[in-house]
Structure formats: C-alpha cells, structure tokens
Structure 1
C-alpha cells in the first residue's frame, strides 16, 4: 500500500537530476549567464548527496523506513484481534465493529492524494515527522475509548495520518542507492507494507487472548513512538530538490550573490495546484485508461480478499479446528511465508526482463529500448497461483482435513498476490512515464476502497454460503480477472498507441 508518489517526484524534478551531475563548487562570475548559477551536486560521490553516505548508514535508514511502513500497515489489521472483546463490551454487532478496520483503510487510500504532494515542497522528513506524530496521537483515543464511535473515528484519522508516510518512504530508499544497487533494498521496503497486515492478527490475537483489548492499542502506540523517534534522530532529509534549495540559500549567504538558485525555486506550481493535480489525475486514469482500470480492479479484488480473510480465518479455524484466539493469529503465517517466497522469485523475473530487453534491442536495434509490457510476466505467473491458492484453501476447509492443508493453500495465494502487485506496479510506472505516481495513486485508492468494503460482508458471506462455496466464489472472481496481465502483455503496445496518457514507443 505504499510508494505511490516517489515516481512523480522524480518526474517533477527531472531537471534537478540532469543538473546534479555537472556542478563543481560555486564561484560566480559577473558575466556568467543565468544557467551557470544552478546549484547542483557533482555526482553520487559528492559528500552533500545522500547517495554518498556509507553503506551502513544507507541500510540503517532503509531499515527504519521499512519497519515504520511495517508498523503503519500492521496497525491496520491489529484491530481485528479486538473484535470479540469490543462486541461484548460495547454491545455492538460484528459489522459495526469491523468499521474500525474499514475506515482505517479508507484513510490509507485518501490521504496520499492530499498529503504526499507536500513532500515536493517541504521534503520527505517534515512529512514523516508530522504524519507520524499525528499517527501516534490518534492511537491514544482508541486505547482509552469509552465507546465504539470514538474508536471508529480515530481509526480513520489514524489511517489518514499514517498513509502519508507510506506514500513517500519509497522515495527515500531510491534517494539513497544508485539504480544498479536499488533492487534489493527496494524489495525489502516494498515487502514491508504487505507483510504488515499479516503480522497484525498474529500479534493482536496473542495480546487479546491474554489481556484487555486496550493493550492492542498501547502496543501499537509504543511501537509507533519508537519509530517516530528513530525518524527524528536517525533519518536525514534525502530529497534532492530540497537539499539543493538548502545549498542555494547557503551559497547566496556565503557569496552575497542572489543569482544562485536551485531548480525547485523556479517552480511555477503552487501547493494548491499540486494537491489538486494529485487528486483528480488518478480518477482520470481510472476513467479513461482501460489498462489502468482493469489492472487496478484486479489488484483491488486481491487486496479485498486479503482483508476479508481477517474475518474468514477466524471462522474457519475456530469452528472447524477449535483454535484459540492466539492460534488463529498464527494461521496467517501461511500467507506471510507465501509472500516472502513470492518476493524471493524477484531475481528470476529480473533475469527474464533482461532477456526480453536484450531480444528487443537485437530486433529493433535500440540500445536501451524497452516495452512496459516486459514488466508483466511476474503478474502473469502470479495469477494462476492466486486461483490455485483460493481453490486449495476453500475445498480443504473441512473439519476432517488437517488444519495445515488450508494454510499451505493460503501460501500459494500470498505468493501470487505479491507477484501480481510487483508486476502491475512496475508496469504502470513504465506504461505511464509522465503520470507514474498518478497511476500508482489510482491503484492505491482503488485497492483501499475494496479492502475497506470486503471485510464488511465477508463473515456474512462465509456463514450464508458456507466456507467452501464462499471461497470458491472468490476464486472464480480472481479467475475472471486472471487474463488481464496476459492480455496487456500481448496487446498493450497497441492499446498504448491509442492512449493520450500512456507512453508508446
């Protein structure tokens, strides 16, 4: 659920990247043209550049932003462990209690469009500090709440605050590492927001089995506060346009020459214009671009099923196998292991991408030429795994079948989900080179809305249709959408030629 705006920042300040490779120490000359007064870095080894940091410090920063993303994502699903206690204490139905999960995810989907663009003006660190501060603050009312309405409202506000971090943090990782070394740290970061929702029930069910539901929020509060402190103390500003603006201000003071400037200071966009663009363009892509709409819809259904499982797993393993609450949390390890294994296949897909790239260059004589469709094979490979995993899980949810069997099936589902997301995300960025962030924001918004809706009807569907047929229905839904990655792999180039937003080569 993360990294939606880092690509847009890179596109917005492409002139900064171009300028950052040639300037030495500033020494103004009276007759120098205005372009000679652009402040920039001499290259990746410039001590002022974040890419010049030591490897140890880069990895420390990567670990901090990754674990903070894990914390925010985990907090979304920690709440599911409190359902039984909240229903009894506040005499509420399961659907009403589930609103606390759904509205948190709604906040995750809406916030990046409004708050993430602020990083283009103020940098990444102020967004981190501000959003995480309110993320910590809004956990407190949930922990001390005397009614369910307080929890539901503050859960929405908490998701809204935390999502700003998720949408920006991927950019920090890309700030630190050159492209040749970016794949592994970015894989670590990208995996954390998807592992978080699986970690939540595991932790929360253990807490709520042994103590009061309030400790679920106190634990989240402690973890979030530690991450906030680590961000303040150990994570520097890494956003190049903002760093260059600081250098320009410093240079003007030192030289007394006001002609020195950073590219960001010549921007002709206001904050309001940037936020407005961030809000409307994702919906234009969803409305006018069939590739973006279909792939976003596919990802949305997958994340919706994932969040639906938070309620379904409890029903299946408590009713069929007599699991205690803390044991139900452990059943999510199947999806977690599947996601890790799916991520581990990344080198194979990268090798396949390079093979397609080389073949394209040989056929067209383009050095460095490529097609966005070459990014889709992981999604093509993950699609059948999702269907197989759901069918496996669904038709083994009988009390007579050992509990490990459906958990193994869920691992196939988890592996397929992470592979599909990986392929779709990279495809959207490549297919919409000028609007990559908007395409990812559209995907994030659609996913969040589905993830918010599915848990509300999931338990009723499982109770009315039965565990097997309810899961079979979900499997058929994913089967209908499974051909999308392959269709766009085969015909995407032709579709892009008729698109006003997608890039065509």
Structure 2
C-alpha cells in the first residue's frame, strides 16, 4: 500500500515535470517554486530582435519627447509671461522649475511600485496622462491650471526615466546593455537639446500654446503605439503564466517572484530613507550625484543663456536655438567611446580577467576634462570679451561639441558605475542622484539671467568652467581608489563580493 502511494507520488511528480518542461518552465532545486528555463521563448531576453528593437526604440522615443517637453518650457515662458503679466523669473518657475520639481518627486514615488505593476501599464499611464496635461495647458486660460498641469506632467515624466533602465535590463544581457543604455542616454540628451529648438520655432511661427498642443499630439501618438509593446517584467510574466496553469492543473508550486507592492512602512524605508542614507553615507553616490546634477543642469542654464548670447552676435531667437545642435553633435560622437569600451571589455575577456566597474570609466576620464576645456573655450570666445572684433560665431560653437560629448559621457558612465557598484541598491542610489539632478536643474534657471547680467556672460561661463575643472579630480580618484571604497562600503560590498566570486559577467537570464 505504501509502495503504491510512493509510486503515485512519483508519477505525479514526473507528470508535473513533464508538463512544466513542455511550457519551458522548471522547478527550483528545492522544488518549492516554478522558474524559467534558459531557452524559454517567452522570457524577454529570448524575444526576437525585431520585438526588442520596437519596444526599446519606442521607450527611447517616449523618453526623448517627454524630456524635450521639459526644456521647451523656457521659450514658452518667455512669451506666456506677457499674457499672464508675470516677471521673467516667476514665469520660468511656473513653466520650467515646477516641471523639474515634480520630476524629482516622481523619482521617489514611482520606483517602489514599478516592479510590481509591470512596465507596460506604467508607460501607457505616463504617456497618456502627459498628453492630457499638455492639452490642458494649451487650452486653459488660467495660470493656476497651468501650474497644476505642469507640475503633474513633471511627476509623470519620471516614469520613463526610472523604468526604462529596468526594461532594458529585462530584455538584454550585460554585454548588449552597454549599447542599449547608451542609445537610451543619447535619446534622453537629444530630447534636452531639441526642446529649445522646437519651442523657439513654434512660438515664433504660432504662439506658446502650440508648443503644448504639439507635444500633446506627439505623446498621443506614442501612447497608441505603446499599446503594441509587450510586458517585459519577467517575474510579472512568469506569475501570470503560472497562475493560469495553477487554475487548470492543481499541485503546481507558486512562481519564483520577489516583487511586492510596498506598504507605507516599506515605502518610507526604501523610497525615502534609503536614497537619503546612500547620498549622505556613500562617498561614491555623493560625488556622482553632485557631478551629474551640476553637469546636466548646464543644459537648463543654456536654455536661458545661450540664445541671448547668440542674439548679441546678430542671430534671431529661432536661429540662436539651432546652436543646440552643436551639443547634439557632441552627444553622437560618444559612439566612438562605446566602441573603445567594447574593445577594452573584449581584451579583458580574452585575458580571462573579470570586468570591474572601474574598467567602464574611460568615458568619464575623457568627458570630465573635455567639459572643462569646452566651457573655458566657450566662455572666452563669446561677446563682449571675444579674442578679436571679428571672431566668427563658429569658434565658440565648436566648443559646445566638446560640452555635448562630455555631458553624454558623464551621464552614461556614472549611472552605469552606480548600477555595477551597488547592484540591488542601485535603484535607491539612482533615485538619490535623479532627485538632486531634478532639483538643481529646476533651481538653476531661476537665477541664470541675474547671474549672466550681473557677472557678464564671460565670467558666468567661467564660474561653470571652474566647477567643471574641479570635477577633473574625480576620474583618477575613482580609477585608483574606487575598488577600495567599494570594499569598505556596506552597500557596495555585496557587488564586490559577487564580482570576486563569479569573476565574469552575469548569465543571459
């Protein structure tokens, strides 16, 4: 009788394994949970390349235009201030600063829930509501309505910024992510650059309200296309698959799923306390947060300062906005550094050496001095203190190519260094950086006019160049002492131990 019972159990177990195998699933070694097999075609990393290209490409386009809507606020504010009878600083606060302050709040609010509700819903939610916000801003004749919608749009803009990296991790292994993350960063930075160009031309041809109508149309179209992407959160897909199987076949264990919907206590601990703790206790995070925040704020400073500088050379407002294309050219040149990175990684693999986070800092070592050189060059080749009375406009403009290259390198490399150094804590570390970046980007434009009018354009740019020169100390410090700092950090030590234990990149799944 006992033997018969054991036989039945063995048959049931065999049948369960066979059924899971047909679905390209398997049990964990202890038999408690169901997990993916490495060749499961439903796992996002095994999707066809066309599917991955469509999904990641559309997510990058969403981030591009939502980011562009942030820098578009400066040109809109310059015209809207007359309609609402505002001074320049308060108009900038309403159209630029509030958006970025809302974005800072969004970096805290959304990440704790992004792993639980799936990626696709969050993208559609962000894009759709952002479209509505832009439409309302264009339609309402009330400043209070504009303030509310601009702040809400900023809050929603944090969704692609905080989730896109997760979607890329869902679909691509570590080697492929080098390029995909780079393309995402380029898309986001191009968004910063085309915002002033689009808005300047739209306000000149039509009026400031059409800036927001245009973004409403674009985001509405993107929202429709987002309905065609697939959910990429692997644990979310697995849970859905296994729950369907469990409703049909009893006895199947639950899926292996570490996601959860945070309660208030968890939210306070993980979303509020931990990013602040990392910022104040981790030298790496503090340094990176300051570098990225100040460097990327330069774009928002330029949305206020660049056009008046070139208008003093005889450009119109819309012509002056095209100078941002020089920064965009520098952004694209960063492709060469990614090729160099790939060569370095290949050589280390051939030599059987592990790839450390510090091995990915070549772009920072180039970008930091280029930013300082570019700003010093720009600061002393623009009016009124140009090298000569007939200095052509192309001379200072070429320096902005270096600035664009440097900003992209710092953005790409430093965020990547956080991810590699802090692993399971990288989301909290990134939230700390993104929060400070949003705050400074929102605050700097408020005193840009006063700074440039009071000091003069040459001295004002020189102040930024001096700060960038101080940043040149960071790359050699990270290269020489980064590993030691990580070993001593209770947050980064886990990453270091995994690196020492595995001695190689992560598995494909």
- Shorter-chain TM range is 0.7 to 0.9
Aligned match of 2:334: 342
**Quick check: which has more Rg, 1 or 2?**
2
Q: Alignment RMSD, CA only?
A: 2.4
| 1:235 maps to 2:220 | no
Cα distance between partner residues in 2 of 1:391 and 1:38: 59
| 1:256 maps to 2:256 | no
Cα distance between partner residues in 2 of 1:221 and 1:198: 19
Aligned match of 2:13: none
Seen in structure 2, the aligned counterparts of structure 1 residues 352 and 181 have a Cα distance that, compared at 3 Å, is: closer
Aligned match of 1:286: 279
Cα distance between partner residues in 2 of 1:289 and 1:74: 32
Cα distance between partner residues in 2 of 1:494 and 1:190: 29
Cα distance per residue 1:50-97 (max 9 Å; x no partner): 233322222111211110010110110112221331122122111111
Aligned match of 1:25: 22
Q: Which stretch shows the higher mean deviation, 272-281 or 477-486?
A: 272-281
1:228 Cα offset (Å): 0.8
Aligned length: 470
Cα distance between partner residues in 2 of 1:197 and 1:490: 33
Aligned match of 2:147: 152
Aligned match of 2:372: 387
CA contact (8 A) 2:128 2:223 kept: yes
Cα distance between partner residues in 1 of 2:47 and 2:89: 49
SS across alignment from 2:151: helix
- Aligned pairs for 1:97-176 (under 5 A) are 97-99=91-93, 100-176=95-171
Q: Which stretch shows the higher mean deviation, 445-454 or 49-58?
A: 49-58
Aligned match of 2:179: 184
CA contact (8 A) 1:26 1:39 kept: no
Aligned match of 1:331: 323
2:43 aligns with one of 38, 44, 49: 49
- Aligned pairs for 1:287-366 (under 5 A) are 287-318=280-311, 320-355=312-347, 357=348
1:385 Cα offset (Å): 0.4
Cα distance between partner residues in 2 of 1:47 and 1:37: 23
Aligned match of 1:445: 435
- Aligned pairs for 1:415-434 (under 5 A) are 415-434=405-424
- Aligned pairs for 1:259-270 (under 5 A) are 259-264=252-257, 270=262
CA contact (8 A) 1:343 1:419 kept: no
CA contact (8 A) 2:116 2:259 kept: no
SS across alignment from 1:217: helix
CA contact (8 A) 1:343 1:418 kept: no
Cα distance between partner residues in 2 of 1:27 and 1:56: 22
Structure 2 residue runs without a partner (length 5+): 1-18, 498-509
| 1:376 maps to 2:376 | no
CA contact (8 A) 1:375 1:424 kept: no
Seen in structure 2, the aligned counterparts of structure 1 residues 274 and 72 have a Cα distance that, compared at 3 Å, is: farther
Cα distance between partner residues in 1 of 2:133 and 2:209: 14
Cα distance per residue 1:146-173 (max 9 Å; x no partner): 2434323321110101211221122223
Aligned match of 1:18: none
Cα distance between partner residues in 2 of 1:218 and 1:86: 14
1:26 Cα offset (Å): 6.4
2:73 aligns with one of 57, 60, 79: 79
Aligned match of 1:15: none
Aligned match of 2:87: 93
SS across alignment from 1:40: strand
Cα distance between partner residues in 2 of 1:225 and 1:274: 34
1:494 Cα offset (Å): 2.3
Aligned match of 2:7: none
Cα distance between partner residues in 2 of 1:326 and 1:28: 57
Seen in structure 2, the aligned counterparts of structure 1 residues 120 and 274 have a Cα distance that, compared at 3 Å, is: farther
CA contact (8 A) 2:328 2:404 kept: yes
Cα distance per residue 1:118-139 (max 9 Å; x no partner): 1211111111122222212222
Cα distance between partner residues in 1 of 2:437 and 2:466: 19
1:36 aligns with one of 28, 31, 35: 31
Post-superposition, which runs of at least 4 consecutive aligned residues in structure 1 deviate over 6 A?
Answer: 26-29
Aligned match of 1:464: 454
Cα distance between partner residues in 1 of 2:469 and 2:146: 37
CA contact (8 A) 2:304 2:445 kept: yes
1:268 Cα offset (Å): 7.0
Cα distance per residue 1:326-371 (max 9 Å; x no partner): 112211001111111124321113323454x459xx6xxxx55343
SS across alignment from 1:260: coil
Seen in structure 2, the aligned counterparts of structure 1 residues 179 and 235 have a Cα distance that, compared at 3 Å, is: same
1:37 Cα offset (Å): 5.4
Structure-2-length-normalised TM-score: 0.87
CA contact (8 A) 1:282 1:442 kept: yes
1:379 Cα offset (Å): 0.7
Cα distance between partner residues in 2 of 1:33 and 1:348: 40
Structure-1-length-normalised TM-score: 0.87
SS across alignment from 1:208: helix
SS across alignment from 1:321: coil
1:477 aligns with one of 460, 467, 473: 467
Cα distance per residue 1:241-264 (max 9 Å; x no partner): 00000011111012133x421122
SS across alignment from 1:402: coil
